[in-house]
Amino acid sequence: MELEKKYRLRVKNCIGTIIDVHRIIGDKYDNEDFLAQFEELKQTVDCLDMNMVSEGDVLMVERATNALLKELRAIFKAGELGPVYQEPKN
């Protein structure tokens, strides 16, 4: 797989994870505008010129996603919300 496709996949996976987590949180903390913005962002990634993206850019997105998930960990550990995925994705 060429590098640009790998970068696109990695960024889309981060955005998809945020969307999946927000769908669970959104049931309790309603904020559809936030979800809509990330859905739009996910579609926009298809139009990006990935030749302009570096490994560092992708790592920045992945680190930001991981930081967000770390912040949300407490909510999920407290048992207030169900699992994000019913079955393991992979």
Whether this prediction's pTM lies above 0.75 is answered by no
Q: Which range marks the domain in which residue 50 is found?
A: 3-77
Q: Which of 46, 60, 33 is nearest to 5 (CA)?
A: 46
Specify if 86 maps to a domain.
Answer: no
One-letter amino acid at 86 equals Q
Please tell me the distance from the alpha carbon of residue 46 to that of residue 55, in angstroms, as a whole number. Answer: 17
Please tell me the distance from the alpha carbon of residue 46 to that of residue 68, in angstroms, as a whole number. Answer: 23
Token reading at 21: 């987590």
Specify if 7 maps to a domain.
Answer: yes
Confidence at residue 90, expressed as pLDDT on a 0 to 100 scale: 58
Please tell me the distance from the alpha carbon of residue 82 to that of residue 89, in angstroms, as a whole number. Answer: 16
pLDDT at 12 over 80: yes
What total number of domains does the chain contain?
Answer: 1
Please state, rounded to an integer, the average pLDDT across all residues of the chain: 80
Token reading at 62: 């992945």
Count of helices and strands (H, E) across the chain: 3, 0
